[in-house]
Chains A and B, each alone.
Chain A
Amino acid sequence: MNDFDDLSIYEMFRMEAEEQVEQLQTRLLALKDGDTNEPTLRSLMRGAHSLKGAARVVGLNAAVRLTHAMEERFVAAQGGHAITQTEVDTLLRANDLLRDLAAVSEEDAPSWSASKESEIDALVTALTGADATDDVAVVAEAAPKEKSTQSASSNIADEPRVTDPESAAATSEHERRATDMNLRITSQRFDRIIAMSSDNLVQSQALVRLQEQMSRIQHRLERLVRSVADARRKALLNPEKQAAALKVIMAQGERDRARIGTLLNELDRMVHTHELNSERLHQEVLHARLRPFGDVVPNLRRLVRDVSAEMGKKVVLQVSGEKTEVDRDILEKLRAPLEHLLRNALDHGLESTAARIAAGKPEEGTVKMRARHVNGRLVITLSDDGGGVHVAAVARRAIDRGLVKEDTAAVLSEAETLEFLFLPGFSTRNEVTEISGRGFGLDVVQSTVHESGGAVKIENAPGQGTTFEITLPVTRSLMRVMEVELENEVYAVPLNRISRIAAVTVAMDAEGRASVEGRSDGDERIPVMHMMSALQNTNAPVQAGAAKVVFFLNERGQEAPIAFQIDRVVNETTVAVRQLDPRLGRMAAIAAVTLTEQNVPMLIVEPDDILRLSLQVQRKAPAVTSEGEGRGSVLVVDDSATVRQMLRRTLLRARYHVATAEHGAEAWNLLQVQPFDLLVSDVDMPEMNGIELVEHVRGNARLAHLPIILLSYKGRDEDRQRGLEAGADAYVTKGEFEEQAFLQVVTDLVGPAELPAEESGA
């Protein structure tokens, strides 16, 4: 049966239309003013012609008229009547309409055609040069509207997040239908197929082991046959009957050996075939899920073309890594953040042409976008050669908006100041433009990327430009791992992150610090931590002595400055990665899970978390135990070191014990192992945000009644309500932070500190 047998003719049309409009757009964008490039024009003509034929088959006359007009224009261009840039715009708008049509269901197609009739008439007139000038005006008015509709699904800069629920629902319904059509199965089912095929591949490894076992049996049988032969020789000296019996046994053994040999040959063939098939199946399924990053590029080029023209700036978009494969879900989620970052670069980043010339820069601004895989993660960088972010202006706006006090702003690092850009509604622009500057967007970029398990970084070079780096996991795949045993449990460590494994001598110094020798003579000794310390956030003891197994992780191409001791290396193998159940929430240090050949779950650790947590345990464990215990103890959670220190000092002065954590996940870990009387938490944090932390605490029987203060720059009523609804007892806005008022809230919730000043630490 053909793959498309179960599709209706109309679904086939939609599928073809989707492909054709993408190709048409790419080629139209490549057309220069007055271009008469024959191959390009021919392929454009063929595209429009094919689409016309397909539309005719399903009886979509409106689409037939439109594609016919497009085809006619391309034919005329082939005859020497060159296409102008204005006409390219018209053709792009016609193409947008066809894209919209590809998302419309069969039952909605007639009403869609009727609603677009006048617009199509106007486009046909504009392309063929026929009369109906009134209709041309309609096109001119309708076009921008259509343009925004076309990009509404991904435009987070220009549109409020919820504008028209009905149209948003309709758009999303269209998108869903289109997606379903391409996949032809639900994505959940697709995921299950991937899991099954991955398991299949893992199971084939079990067959290899079975083969090895059979080989061992064969060898044992051979030994048995030799033993029987020996016995037979001895029996020759004894009664004849024994010799005859032994002869029979030997013959039987020989037959069995031959039989096993045959079986082994057969098994060998089966294993080989099965391995090949599994590999092929998995690759086939996996690649169906992966898409080249280049899929999103045509729309981005279109955006740059339209927006730069609108702003009167000359901009070139340079894209590299278009063949980088990306999970289709991640690619879909990337569209909106990338479009927003591009708009920002065009509007805020790149200076006007005059300003660029005055600064000695090329008249044409450059935006570079690069996609690549780094250590199993997808990294996308977007940089411009504009003026960069004016850090002082960001700080000033934060002060003006009451987000931070002047003296605090003065001590914030550049990175901390730039974090304000990711706050909702934050913009340094005074005016609102069509392109950006309405003050929302970067926070949505950040939250969208966070939702996909990634992170956004901003690097600023004043006068030279800004670079945004988006890092995302690529987790739906097979992974080579090293299985390591820790306290009788086996964990998987991604092999591509292991720099080396060694059996070395671990020495302990007078202060109980474990270390191993550096790689070469003269190198500093490398500290060693038991891997369980990082996993459990505790100080698991390192075993000193010779031949202890340690491994080293690589970090950004270099060996990390810490070694991890493990009990033993179990195996090196390929595992099928499964996403963690979302009901588990975020888990520090764990990236995913897999099933072993024995059908037992095995956790796959997240090397970056392991490194970070291990350094925290090393650095913070003594401070936490001395400051965090006893009544009147407060856990302060904030990803800004400045805010953390400010709160810590405030609370210490009021004679509370204080422990600190950098984000929700770390705080949650501390709460599991230490008693606290109060939790003071920021809202926007990596790993686990403040709202999630509050929900975790309230959902835990032991901690459900722990008083919680949320502290945030977000001062809107809805933010406050969200925090209180999650279960916080108080919500304090950082912009309105007053030390005495804050301490009063603390006292109201937990009472005054009962500890003498000398015990509270400093």
Chain B
Amino acid sequence: MSDPKKTEVPQMTSRLVARQRFFARPIPEGFSEEWAAALAQPLPETQDTKASILEFRIGDLQMGIASRYVKAVTPALTICPVPHRNNTAFLGLAAFAGEVIPCVSLARILGASDAVTTVDAKTIVLEERPGERWAFRVHAVLGVSTGSTHERGAEDGNKLSSDWCDSVLEDERNQRINILKPETVFQRLQRATT
């Protein structure tokens, strides 16, 4: 078997020489100034409106919430009702990942149908900050969508008030999905829990 190094040496040498010549050539006139001027220009302002949301349905309301707040989507959790609290939006306590977390009916808070009987029903676990989690039931989880966000317009309907939603996400199929305002969601979940 022949040694490849021996046959490649002349070829490598000529390439190195060519490289050295290329990099050793004088800089064209005005080249440095041109680049310095280009780099000194401020970057064009770009607004990153890409977002990722978890889309779900409660009754006939279809909406989404920023994925970063979603800790998990699970099959419907068993809820332990709490005395004195059973006539409010607070449904009770559920176990999730070894923790006991409050479970709230977002449907009742939104004034939508609360009857969850379909096999598609799921529980969404949200986390506002570490250790503060809530669970709520939805009729169906429709998936995760990414796209650009826009202000909500008249064409987006008004089933959700502006307190709850002021922007929409337009996904790859040009479908517009109402995005819930996280501050409102967590505030209402907290109120329902206490």
Q: Which residues of A contact B (CB under 8 A)?
A: 195-196, 199, 489, 535-537, 578, 581, 583-585, 587-590, 593, 595, 598-603, 668-669, 672-673, 695-696, 699-701
Complex Cα spacing A598 to B77, Å: 12
Complex Cα spacing A509 to B133, Å: 50
Is A583 a contact partner of B81 (Cβ separation < 8 A)? Answer: no
Complex Cα spacing A536 to B86, Å: 9
Q: Does B61 contact A (CB under 8 A)?
A: no
Query: A700 and B88 in contact (CB under 8 A), knowing A590-B82, A603-B80?
Result: yes
Query: A583 and B102 in contact (CB under 8 A), knowing A590-B82, A595-B95, A700-B191?
Result: yes
Overall SS of chain A's interface:
mixed
Query: A584 and B87 in contact (CB under 8 A), knowing A595-B95, A601-B95, A603-B80?
Result: no
Q: Does B98 contact A (CB under 8 A)?
A: yes
- Which A residues are CB-close (under 8 A) to B81? 489
Is B84 a contact partner of A669 (Cβ separation < 8 A)? Answer: yes
Q: List 19 A-B contacts (CB under 8 A).
A: A536-B86, A581-B102, A581-B193, A584-B82, A584-B194, A590-B83, A593-B100, A595-B95, A599-B95, A601-B94, A601-B95, A601-B100, A603-B80, A669-B84, A672-B88, A699-B190, A699-B191, A700-B88, A701-B89
Is B101 a contact partner of A581 (Cβ separation < 8 A)? Answer: yes
Residue of B whose beta carbon sits closest to that of A491: B83
Is A489 a contact partner of B80 (Cβ separation < 8 A)? Answer: yes
Give the distance to chain B from A201, nearest Cβ to Cβ, in Å: 14
Give the distance to chain B from A395, nearest Cβ to Cβ, in Å: 37
- Which A residues are CB-close (under 8 A) to B78? 598, 600
Residue of B whose beta carbon sits closest to that of A692: B194
Complex Cα spacing A700 to B88, Å: 8
- Which A residues are CB-close (under 8 A) to B179? none
Give the distance to chain A from B9, nearest Cβ to Cβ, in Å: 55
Q: Which residues of B contact A (CB under 8 A)?
A: 78, 80-89, 92-95, 98, 100-102, 109, 132, 190-191, 193-194
Complex Cα spacing A144 to B191, Å: 49
Is A535 a contact partner of B83 (Cβ separation < 8 A)? Answer: yes
Complex Cα spacing A720 to B173, Å: 57
Is A600 a contact partner of B95 (Cβ separation < 8 A)? Answer: yes
Query: A587 and B82 in contact (CB under 8 A), knowing A578-B100, A700-B88?
Result: yes
Complex Cα spacing A599 to B194, Å: 24
Give the distance to chain A from B111, nearest Cβ to Cβ, in Å: 10
Query: A589 and B83 in contact (CB under 8 A), knowing A599-B95, A699-B191?
Result: yes
Sample of 12 further A-B pairs with CB below 8 A, known A535-B84, A587-B85: A581-B100, A581-B193, A584-B193, A593-B80, A593-B93, A600-B95, A601-B80, A601-B94, A601-B95, A603-B82, A603-B83, A701-B109
- Which A residues are CB-close (under 8 A) to B86? 536
Is A583 a contact partner of B95 (Cβ separation < 8 A)? Answer: no
Is B194 a contact partner of A585 (Cβ separation < 8 A)? Answer: yes
Residue of B whose beta carbon sits closest to that of A595: B95
- Which B residues are CB-close (under 8 A) to A603? 80, 82-83, 93
Give the 3 A-B CB pairs with smallest separation, nearest first: A535-B83, A601-B80, A699-B191
Give the distance to chain A from B86, nearest Cβ to Cβ, in Å: 8
- Which B residues are CB-close (under 8 A) to A489? 80-81
Give the distance to chain A from B66, nearest Cβ to Cβ, in Å: 21
Interface centre among A196, A489, A583, A598 (most CB of B within 10 A): A583
Complex Cα spacing A535 to B81, Å: 12
Give the distance to chain A from B40, nearest Cβ to Cβ, in Å: 43
Complex Cα spacing A73 to B81, Å: 67
Is B84 a contact partner of A589 (Cβ separation < 8 A)? Answer: yes
Complex Cα spacing A169 to B102, Å: 34
Is A696 a contact partner of B95 (Cβ separation < 8 A)? Answer: no
Is B194 a contact partner of A699 (Cβ separation < 8 A)? Answer: yes
Complex Cα spacing A584 to B133, Å: 12
- Which B residues are CB-close (under 8 A) to A673? 87
Q: Which of B84, B89, B109, B191 contacts A587 (CB 8 A)?
A: B84
Give the distance to chain B from A125, nearest Cβ to Cβ, in Å: 53
Q: Which of B80, B85, B98, B101 contacts A600 (CB 8 A)?
A: B80
Complex Cα spacing A196 to B99, Å: 11
- Which A residues are CB-close (under 8 A) to B191? 699-701
Give the distance to chain A from B137, nearest Cβ to Cβ, in Å: 16
Residue of B whose beta carbon sits closest to that of A668: B84
